[in-house]
Structure 1
């Protein structure tokens, strides 16, 4: 089993990061390649084309070890996400960012939950025998999520980091993440299966735990790990252990490990002035990016293209279309109502449609909690992949529309800088320093 585990780990790391590099060469986010690699190494492709090689590389006996590595990578990644989460960046754009976040969450949430009720017969064909309230809410969550890490990468790679649409999209997505993770945690607690206590008692325990984390954990960590002058490597190890312990406690409480890891990052002390500690952040990114292919492969094991009927393929097209239209539409309309220029509003709407890793994390949690059947999980995983792939082409379309609308204007070269111009009569939003 050690031989199988080492060979499969070598394949996962090589194929995962190789696919990520190839995706970047195609002007797609690194995470898209890793997600595609995880699906390719699963039963749908490798398992169907080379079943003997698949059984040799991924025997059932090593499943626990691979899942353990996947959970560690996920906990470290979400710990870093929580540590970087800072709603103070909203600044003077707070009202616009809040409007964008609420609209781009509420509209997809309503459409997703409504469609789950309307198309319950089609969901029954996808292996969803009954629809509980938690399943209906989760269907809405699946459409409403925006992936902040993928969004940030797209913003940087397109030169939008210091523009109004780039800053607004990242700010709104950060706030949307807070809303989304909160609703997701409540949904998992309510629909997470049998528990020894009534769910309301578990909810009370979870609230007490989160209050202790938010009010007590930060000053205690600062006293023990910062003021004692610990070596940065030792402090990193202890904080990762803290994140894993928090993830384990929330898993026990029925909130899933992702909630504890994210909360541990949120309460982790910052440097003076609220800045992030580079000695902590840099190795967190290195460790999580190195191990994340294990999470994609473990998630890909549940993807079963062969289980999809005509209803499943139709659902994939419909869900992907709804996911794009609701996000782009709600973001654009909310931006216009907030006084943004038409081109800026379009760009923000397209950026908020990016999903990627955050969507896959939520889907995996829902699948483990029994809120998704395997065929419906497969549909939603491919929705996450397609919506992320479509973000770059949609940005190109918006860019061309912006250039066409401004043909003849002085100095217009079709660059992204045109999207940084505030609408006439609207004060320009301040642009922070790079980094």
Structure 2
């Protein structure tokens, strides 16, 4: 009697694909210079989505990625991305930014504001055509949301790339982290503004009030318990904050970031936190990448999506480099510094993809816009190391230069 394949077995087949395919492409193709494993995983997620695999082999796609399998993958992906955003919040060091507040605020402000302005221009142009704005999106939400997506810097991926370039612990690397950290806070603040639901404003005010009071109790508790207990309490705190934010009409990712940003990184052993971030990226974030790929759409047609992605890429890249070069002139940086810093800060990848996922969840953008943003993020990240590495080779003295 033939065996009827179960949802569990289909889920495990999907997990084999998720981990095996991108690894083989990355390792056998030796893509690490221009496409780290995390980028290959994102691209693989797109290829495995309905727009590529689903269009070429619809029977196989529908056989493996059933509704139950996708639901199971989404549950893993939600927890993965909450952990990732939470860790990013913990690792923000705003104290260093405050010590160098003039330089940091000027650079971070221009590095965020200029590409956002350029991105808003592209978003406004996209509104002239049907199919880009989501059914629940207001015009200003779409324009500001897409504009901010162009301004995002992917702090966790930036850390990985600077480790690869061997500048993370150098003065220039620490400066770039300061700029990216300030932008990270601004990004989540703008996202919270975009997601404000005036029909549920009472819930949102209640969440903010309860969260503020809970932070006081939570912080006092964390300094009084041993580190081994802090990990467990912090995970409970993460889930509770994510629930509260989602219940209030914001989004669970906003709650996850807030849960992390109010925590002090020195509460935890640095090596253990680095190991946790590495393991989250290794063990469960690939599921999020596939889940993201399954949400891509080509309803506008492949050509239109690629044109929009190219326009968004030019807007974010031109805006980021222009903003950082203007900051360099104001602050009288050495020749070449602005170019290196600008190219590193234009790295998108994970944080922008997370940001775009939220906009899609809230139906502010359509799957076509989401796909264009995803392609822009991948291209942005793939450009970083090939553009920065030669510049650093020619300008090694930059690495030892402080703020």
Pairwise same-fold verdict (TM > 0.5)? yes
Q: What is the Cα deviation at residue 110 of structure 1?
A: 2.0
Separation in 2 of the partners of 1:314 and 1:27? 22
Matched, 1:200 2:201: yes
Given the alignment, which residue of 190, 193, 197 partners 1:183? 190
Q: What is the Cα deviation at residue 357 of structure 1?
A: 0.3
Matches for 1:64-143 after TM superposition, within 5 Å: 64-90=71-97, 92-122=99-129, 124-126=130-132, 131-143=138-150
Q: Which stretch has the larger CA shift, 285-294 or 357-366?
A: 285-294
Partner of 1:5: 11
Report Cα offsets for 1:162-202 as digits up to 9, x if no partner: 44432221110011000111111121224xxxxxx734323
Separation in 1 of the partners of 2:304 and 2:133? 11
Q: CA RMSD in A?
A: 2.5
Is 2:119–2:150's contact at 8 Å kept on the other side of the alignment? yes
Q: What is the Cα deviation at residue 41 of structure 1?
A: 1.6
TM-score between both structures, scaled by the size of structure 1: 0.83
Matches for 1:141-156 after TM superposition, within 5 Å: 141-156=148-163
Separation in 2 of the partners of 1:270 and 1:311? 44
Is 1:16–1:293's contact at 8 Å kept on the other side of the alignment? no
> Which has the bigger relative contact order, CA under 8 A and spacing at least 6?
2
Separation in 2 of the partners of 1:128 and 1:365? 12
Q: Aligned in 2, Cα 1:172/1:210: closer, same or farther, shift over 3 Å?
A: farther
Matches for 1:34-433 after TM superposition, within 5 Å: 34-90=41-97, 92-122=99-129, 124-126=130-132, 131-190=138-197, 198-223=199-224, 225-226=225-226, 232=228, 235-271=230-266, 276-305=269-298, 307-308=300-301, 310-396=303-389, 398-399=391-392, 414-420=393-399, 428-429=402-403
Q: Aligned in 2, Cα 1:237/1:9: closer, same or farther, shift over 3 Å?
A: farther
Report Cα offsets for 1:233-273 as digits up to 9, x if no partner: x64344223212221221111111111112222233554xx
Separation in 1 of the partners of 2:212 and 2:382? 39
Is 1:80–1:285's contact at 8 Å kept on the other side of the alignment? no
Q: Aligned in 2, Cα 1:85/1:20: closer, same or farther, shift over 3 Å?
A: farther
Is 2:22–2:37's contact at 8 Å kept on the other side of the alignment? no
Q: Aligned in 2, Cα 1:19/1:209: closer, same or farther, shift over 3 Å?
A: farther
Q: Aligned in 2, Cα 1:291/1:306: closer, same or farther, shift over 3 Å?
A: same
Separation in 2 of the partners of 1:88 and 1:275? 17
Q: Aligned in 2, Cα 1:365/1:128: closer, same or farther, shift over 3 Å?
A: closer
Separation in 1 of the partners of 2:275 and 2:390? 35
Q: What is the Cα deviation at residue 331 of structure 1?
A: 1.3
Separation in 1 of the partners of 2:196 and 2:26? 34
SS in 1 for 2:336: helix
- Equivalent pairs counted in the alignment come to 395
Q: Which runs of 5+ in 2 are unaligned?
A: 1-6
Q: Aligned in 2, Cα 1:353/1:120: closer, same or farther, shift over 3 Å?
A: same
Q: What is the Cα deviation at residue 312 of structure 1?
A: 2.9
Q: Aligned in 2, Cα 1:339/1:215: closer, same or farther, shift over 3 Å?
A: farther
Separation in 2 of the partners of 1:41 and 1:346? 35
Q: Aligned in 2, Cα 1:324/1:298: closer, same or farther, shift over 3 Å?
A: same
Q: Aligned in 2, Cα 1:127/1:179: closer, same or farther, shift over 3 Å?
A: closer
Q: Aligned in 2, Cα 1:146/1:284: closer, same or farther, shift over 3 Å?
A: closer
Separation in 2 of the partners of 1:83 and 1:390? 28
Is 2:116–2:316's contact at 8 Å kept on the other side of the alignment? no
TM-score between both structures, scaled by the size of structure 2: 0.89
Q: Which runs of 5+ in 1 are unaligned?
A: 191-196, 400-413, 423-427, 430-435
